Amino acid sequence: MSERKVGFIGLGKYLPENRLTNKDLEKIVDTTDEWIRERTGIRERRIAREDEATSDMAVHAAKAALKNAKLKPEDIDLIIVATITPDMFFPSTACIVQNRLGANHAPAFDISVACSGFIYGIAIANQFVKSGIYKRVLLIAAEKMSSVTDWKDRATCVLMGDGAGAAILGEVEDGGILSVYLGADGSKGDLLKMPAGGSRLPATASTVEGRLHFLKMQGNELFRHAVRIMANAALKAAEPLGLKGDDINLVIPHQANIRILNAVAKRMGINPAKKVYLNIDKYGNMSAASSAVALAEAVEEGRVKKGDIILLDAFGAGLTWGGIIIKW
Ligand code: COA
């Protein structure tokens, strides 16, 4: 019997209404619109309302994906939420989403893989569908990065945004996921982390005073690793299929920094202006949600056509990374 082909049968997204522009940030920290645009490619980002949690954005994106797939919540066999900004430590955001959707018979769990969360989630969903254990997996990548952003730290607060993307994976007749490559390097975990709030440093008045419940990043060093690692992840995903840069119709990367993406495209021999999908200018870095929203928008805008070879490529805290090749 031939192996099941696993692909995307529905996509959705949700972006909060509130736009925070670079000009707005000039009033909050010592920065300029020009610095942010030139160094990162970001013009504005979306910020969730104070009363809007990660699960709220996740539910919106999931409903959009269900509608796109013409499915009902009860058709979903498994729910995975990729997030590093869950509503709370437990219960998982996936369980909150399961209840809100009424997807009552679906098991549900979160994965914590930072910016590579959507890629890891696809890898998991792929296995469940391929093995025949589940028919339809709802994968949501949702982040309220503004909730862990230090609005006094100009080096990080200009980078992040909030949002959610969702995908339903299931069996397809043609194409689908052709190769998956994942990686991690825990020795470099200190480069990007939120130090307090877990069992190592539970919340106390002093952790709050020390601003340890916010994201801390060594941007310069991360930048160096990001270029090398994302280029390598792309190669590793393409290698088993014998694909070269020219064979890829569109790269849909994690949107951390436009300079990283241009450098990665150059290493792959790909023209970034033609073959790299970008929405970092509108949304900044939404961690796991970035790749999910980018995929949903690329398809919505007609940048992905049937039969196209797509590369998803991500890198993030952990460190973690992954590359996935899909035939659309
Ligand atoms: N506005 C103005 N100046 C700023 C600034 C801001 N928002 N943030 C930092 N600066 C200053 C720094 O203080 C530094 O000043 P100094 O030279 O007087 O010390 C100068 O700009 C250069 O800082 P540097 O950190 O070297 O800038 P950079 O070109 O490396 O860009 C990042 C900074 C964060 C944009 C970049 O390093 C990056 O994108 N890193 C990787 C991010 C990433 O991949 N993150 C997570 C993975 S998902």
Residue with CA closest to ligand 1 atom 10:
155
Structural domain ending residue among the three candidates 144, 174, 204: 174
Q: How far is CA 68 from CA 28, 197, 313, in A?
A: 39, 37, 24
Structural domain ending residue among the three candidates 174, 198, 232: 174
Rounded Cα gap, residues 183 and 226, in angstroms: 13
Q: Provide the pLDDT for residue 1.
A: 57
Q: Provide the pLDDT for residue 273.
A: 87
Q: Could you tell me the distance, in angstroms and rounded to a whole number, from the CA of residue 154 to the centre of ligand 1?
A: 9
Unique residue bearing structure tokens 């670079």: 22
Q: Could you tell me the distance, in angstroms and rounded to a whole number, from the CA of residue 216 to the centre of ligand 1?
A: 12
Q: Are residues 245 and 183 in the same domain?
A: yes
Q: Could you tell me the distance, in angstroms and rounded to a whole number, from the CA of residue 260 to the centre of ligand 1?
A: 13
Probe residue for ligand 1, chosen from 223, 260, 285, 290 as the CB with the greatest number of ligand atoms within 8 Å: 223
Are 297 and 317 contacting, i.e. CB atoms less than 8 angstroms apart?
Answer: no
Q: Is 218 in the pocket of ligand 1 (CB under 6 A)?
A: no
Unique residue bearing structure tokens 């849909």: 252
Q: Provide the pLDDT for residue 278.
A: 96
Tokens of 295: 């995929």
Q: Provide the pLDDT for residue 293.
A: 98
Q: Are residues 204 and 248 in the same domain?
A: yes
Rounded Cα gap, residues 292 and 248, in angstroms: 19
Q: Is 158 in the pocket of ligand 1 (CB under 6 A)?
A: yes
Are 231 and 270 contacting, i.e. CB atoms less than 8 angstroms apart?
Answer: no
> Considering just the CA atoms, what is the radius of gyration of the chain in Å?
19
Q: Are residues 72 and 43 in the same domain?
A: yes
Rounded Cα gap, residues 263 and 259, in angstroms: 6
C-beta atoms surrounding 186 within 10 Å: 8
Comparing CA positions, the residue from 254, 221, 275 lying closest to residue 322 is 254
Q: Is 154 in the pocket of ligand 1 (CB under 6 A)?
A: yes
For residue 1, being part of any structural domain is answered with no
Number of domains in the chain: 2
Q: Could you tell me the distance, in angstroms and rounded to a whole number, from the CA of residue 220 to the centre of ligand 1?
A: 7
Q: Are residues 184 and 113 in the same domain?
A: no
Residue with CA closest to ligand 1 atom 14:
155
Collapsing DSSP to helix, strand or coil, 107 comes out as coil
Q: Are residues 170 and 185 in the same domain?
A: no
Structural domain ending residue among the three candidates 158, 174, 190: 174
For residue 200, being part of any structural domain is answered with yes
For residue 256, being part of any structural domain is answered with yes
**Residues with pLDDT less than 70, the chain:** 1
Half-sphere exposure of 173 (CA within 13 A, CB side): 1
Ligand 1 closest atom vs CA 157: 7
Residue with CA closest to ligand 1 atom 29:
39
Residue 282: give the domain boundaries: 178-327
Q: Are residues 164 and 237 in the same domain?
A: no
Q: Are residues 98 and 18 in the same domain?
A: yes
CATH code for the domain of 18 = 3.40.47.10
Unique residue bearing structure tokens 């989403």: 97
Q: Are residues 141 and 218 in the same domain?
A: no
For residue 285, being part of any structural domain is answered with yes
Are 309 and 248 contacting, i.e. CB atoms less than 8 angstroms apart?
Answer: yes
Comparing CA positions, the residue from 290, 263, 287, 268 lying closest to residue 278 is 290
Ligand 1 closest atom vs CA 254: 48
